Structure 1
Amino acid sequence: MTLVLVDDETGPTVVHRVPQGIAAAEHPLRDIVFAHPQILPLHELEPEIGRIIPVAIEVNLPGAGFVDVLLVSEYGRLIIVECKLWRNPQARREVVGQILDYARELARYGYEDLQRVISSRLGRRGNVLYELAAAAGSPLAEADFVDRVSRDLEAGRFLLIIAGDGITEGTRRIGEYLGAQAGLAFDLGLVEIVEYRFDDPLTGTARRILQPRLLARTQTIERYVIRSEVPGVMVDPVVEEPDPITRARPEVAANHATWRAFVTRFVDDTAFDDPAQMPARHGGLNWMRLPMPGPVGLTLYRSGTTGNVGAFLRYRDGEGLALYEELLAQREAIDAEFAAAGLPAPEWTTSGDERHISVLTPSPAPWDAAREEDQRQWLARAANAFVNIVAPRITRALG
């Protein structure tokens, strides 16, 4: 792709993309990502991730190697970035396995281990990770921040980013690497950072333009986010442009816009008893996903067809079914705690090889503003109950 800079005085300047594999060396790319972490489109992966704080480069994880860039969100979300140029022969073969090695090693760490590694790298004592986050404006108290990071370490819950100057067709094999990673709850994003160069017509100075993006449907690879949420792999296309049906039917586009506004309001208004709980994320039309410990998140939804709003956990396959049985053994206590929270007892159901734990309440359409406010409040209560009642049991079962 070619860019054109338009200037009324000097006329248009054609800016050509630097051919794949000839862009800046890996270390300059690493340094740019560290100095300007906002170059990574992380909010497209996790809209509620918040501010991103650079922690360190070349972080030594003994036995695994050196992490190119370690970042953390203001809410304690750890982000591992591996920078590779795709001309590098090892990139296609090893980069995925390499970043997974980092994730596996970190999953063995406690907070004190991570603190020691960071302090050693930066030559600073104390709770350096929290100090960096607090200086950047983290809203979490130190104890809550440490608890959040500790839980993510224990669960192997990280955001992994592979950044490069182009992702080739061979990277479709990424799923082969992820099939055996069911013990980790990571999200992985593939970020292409395209480089353009030109000479400024006014000053003659050489200029660079960097264009970061999660890969869309190009000639190299479809844009994918890969989530290891259950045993096995789910590879979900991340759709940015409206599909043809949405473009052709304005009422569908309006429904999507209404639901996005609903989710935004829900996230803004919902305060969990657990201050480290991450907010819900938009999933699709009339459903959103709340992060939970374990292999799956909590789905929050509303249905005009059934006239209900509800929340459910869905388990399948080995680890998920074992976890469901662990929770089922505590059903009496869980049901009682939901009742004490003013909610109906959960339904424990089997559908084929799937198991569901769900609560719902009637909310027939049409949904006016008052009805939507009732839905948000009920969903917030249900989500808070799952976080308070079910999440700690999941954590103990996985412990």
Structure 2
Amino acid sequence: MTIVETDLYGKVTDTWRPVRLGEEANFDEKWLQGILFAHPGALPLAEIDPLASDSVSICRELRLGRGLLDLLLVSPRGRLTLVECKLWRNHESRRKVVGQILEYAAELARLRLSDLEARVRDRLKTTTDNPFFDRVRAQAPAISEKEFTENLEQGLRTGHFCLVIAGDGIRSEAQVIGEFLRAAGNLRFSLGLVQVDLHRRGERLLVQPRVPSKVQTEVRTVFVGASEPTGADEDDQQDGETNEAPGAPEAPEDPLARVDREFWQSFIDEVKLQHPDQPRPRHGGRNWVKLSFPAPVGWLALYRLRGAKPRIGAFLAFRGPAGHDLFERLMAERKEIEEDVGMPLSWDSERRDRWTIALYQDWAGIDDPSTYAAQKAWLADAANRMVNTFRPRVRARSE
């Protein structure tokens, strides 16, 4: 449909010709994602979920489960909005897109706010304490942080989100969408299908998101979502390992003992952890430190190892029947977990009494002081990757 531009007296001054997403090389899903991220107010969110109106953009391409969510938004009322930008060419792609955004919603509902904040900080490469509130406060300075945070946490617990699929060729597909909505009966959400119309006049482009159809589920009982802990979260189990070095044992009288202690003390003092629930590391034994973790893991160990093949690394150790069961369950998600970590992992299930998930880096000049800063930077990055990936999984599967 062509848009006709007139003056106040009805005289035609210009026309805008319709352009389809994907019709020209520049107008693809990535382009649409960038437009909506920069201008979230263009989305008709008030028509889909009134609590999602006036939303601000948080981040793009946030990893959730096995994929990357295109856009994450949040409103001053604490409503999270998930947006997927897609070109719908056939019925199968429609089924896939709807199923995908519901998977993202289910994955999001499994996270606590602290888990989500850690992921967002990592995605934005920021150290701000509250990435959500800071973005909203810039638009609504009078907002109450306490009320905003409570609403945000409640939405995560109940899985009450605003879900938006934006693209071209959006039509009412009640039967197709209904199949997925029945499969997502344990979430509470509003789902909106947003048609994005484009019209071009020379080098200018008119972008018009609108809602030709809307599907909204009724409120249902919630089963998906992180429940509040019923006991102590940080069971710092010792298992007789307090002074056991993760690598090869070294004699206590080794003159490098003081050097190692100073190295790790400076690491403990300087490291910045992204996950707000993660306590700071403590000295574990000779040339390693530990970060407490939910049971049955106990802790995440960071170490430096000398010898013929010097290296630095990090690992989680699992013990006992509960540890073995958790290790096996995580093994089933190995591909997804390794994508989340973004570094090669070593999965060791050879021993009968201990199973480990580790990552390490060979380091030839391990005792060269000029490399200490680089070693600490690698260890800090490894710690954040392991904590952000495994902490929510261990806690969710142990509750």
What corresponds to 1:105 in structure 2?
A: 107
Q: Any gaps of 5 or more consecutive residues in structure 1?
A: 200-205, 216-222, 232-398
Residue 42 (structure 2) aligned to one of 14, 39, 42 = 39
Deviation at 1:134, TM superposition (A): 1.7
SS at match of 1:213: strand
Alpha carbons of structure 1 residues 123 and 142: separation in structure 2 relative to 1, 3 Å:
same
What corresponds to 2:214 in structure 1?
A: 224
Alpha carbons of structure 1 residues 177 and 66: separation in structure 2 relative to 1, 3 Å:
same
Deviation at 1:171, TM superposition (A): 6.3
What corresponds to 2:164 in structure 1?
A: 161
Residue 130 (structure 2) aligned to one of 127, 130, 144 = 127
Q: Report the Cα distance in structure 1 between the residues aligned to 2:160 and 2:114, rounded to whole angstroms.
A: 17
What whole-Å deviation, never above 9, does each CA across 1:174-216 have from its counterpart, x for those lacking one? Answer: 11111021210111000001011122xxxxxx1111111100x
Deviation at 1:166, TM superposition (A): 1.9
Q: Tell me the amino acid that sits aligned with residue 23 of structure 2.
A: I
Task: Tell me if 1:183 matches 2:180.
Answer: no
What corresponds to 1:362 in structure 2?
A: none
Q: Report the Cα distance in structure 2 between the residues aligned to 1:145 and 1:16, rounded to whole angstroms.
A: 43
What whole-Å deviation, never above 9, does each CA across 1:116-145 have from its counterpart, x for those lacking one? Answer: 011001111121111111222154432322
Alpha carbons of structure 1 residues 135 and 10: separation in structure 2 relative to 1, 3 Å:
same
Deviation at 1:20, TM superposition (A): 6.3
Q: Report the Cα distance in structure 2 between the residues aligned to 1:45 and 1:137, rounded to whole angstroms.
A: 21
What corresponds to 1:60 in structure 2?
A: 63
Q: Report the Cα distance in structure 2 between the residues aligned to 1:197 and 1:227, rounded to whole angstroms.
A: 36
The answer on whether the counterparts of 2:62 and 2:70 sit within 8 Å (CA) in structure 1 is yes
Q: Tell me the amino acid that sits aligned with residue 156 of structure 1.
A: G
Q: Report the Cα distance in structure 1 between the residues aligned to 2:43 and 2:75, rounded to whole angstroms.
A: 13
Instruction: Summarize the alignment of residues 1-399 of structure 1 with structure 2, pairs less than 5 Å apart.
Output: 1-7=1-7, 11-19=12-20, 22=23, 24-47=27-50, 49-61=52-64, 63-87=65-89, 91-125=93-127, 126-137=129-140, 139-168=142-171, 172-199=175-202, 206-215=203-212, 223-230=213-220
Q: Tell me the amino acid that sits aligned with residue 224 of structure 1.
A: K
The answer on whether the counterparts of 1:182 and 1:228 sit within 8 Å (CA) in structure 2 is no
What whole-Å deviation, never above 9, does each CA across 1:308-341 have from its counterpart, x for those lacking one? Answer: xxxxxxxxxxxxxxxxxxxxxxxxxxxxxxxxxx
Q: Report the Cα distance in structure 1 between the residues aligned to 2:34 and 2:21, rounded to whole angstroms.
A: 19
Alpha carbons of structure 1 residues 165 and 228: separation in structure 2 relative to 1, 3 Å:
same
Q: Report the Cα distance in structure 1 between the residues aligned to 2:98 and 2:141, rounded to whole angstroms.
A: 31
Alpha carbons of structure 1 residues 9 and 140: separation in structure 2 relative to 1, 3 Å:
closer
The answer on whether the counterparts of 1:78 and 1:149 sit within 8 Å (CA) in structure 2 is yes
Q: CA RMSD in A?
A: 2.6
The answer on whether the counterparts of 2:82 and 2:162 sit within 8 Å (CA) in structure 1 is yes
Query: TM-score, length-normalised on structure 1?
Result: 0.51
Q: Tell me the amino acid that sits aligned with residue 71 of structure 2.
A: V
Deviation at 1:69, TM superposition (A): 0.5
Q: Report the Cα distance in structure 1 between the residues aligned to 2:141 and 2:102, rounded to whole angstroms.
A: 27
Q: Report the Cα distance in structure 2 between the residues aligned to 1:42 and 1:143, rounded to whole angstroms.
A: 24
Deviation at 1:47, TM superposition (A): 3.6
What whole-Å deviation, never above 9, does each CA across 1:290-325 have from its counterpart, x for those lacking one? Answer: xxxxxxxxxxxxxxxxxxxxxxxxxxxxxxxxxxxx
Q: Report the Cα distance in structure 2 between the residues aligned to 1:207 and 1:157, rounded to whole angstroms.
A: 38
Q: Report the Cα distance in structure 1 between the residues aligned to 2:23 and 2:58, rounded to whole angstroms.
A: 28
The answer on whether the counterparts of 1:181 and 1:228 sit within 8 Å (CA) in structure 2 is no
Q: Report the Cα distance in structure 1 between the residues aligned to 2:10 and 2:79, rounded to whole angstroms.
A: 47
Q: Tell me the amino acid that sits aligned with residue 133 of structure 1.
A: V
What whole-Å deviation, never above 9, does each CA across 1:100-125 have from its counterpart, x for those lacking one? Answer: 01100011000100100110011111
SS at match of 1:230: coil
Alpha carbons of structure 1 residues 144 and 170: separation in structure 2 relative to 1, 3 Å:
closer
Deviation at 1:161, TM superposition (A): 0.4
Query: TM-score, length-normalised on structure 2?
Result: 0.51
SS at match of 2:135: helix
Deviation at 1:165, TM superposition (A): 1.4
What corresponds to 1:376 in structure 2?
A: none
The answer on whether the counterparts of 1:159 and 1:186 sit within 8 Å (CA) in structure 2 is yes
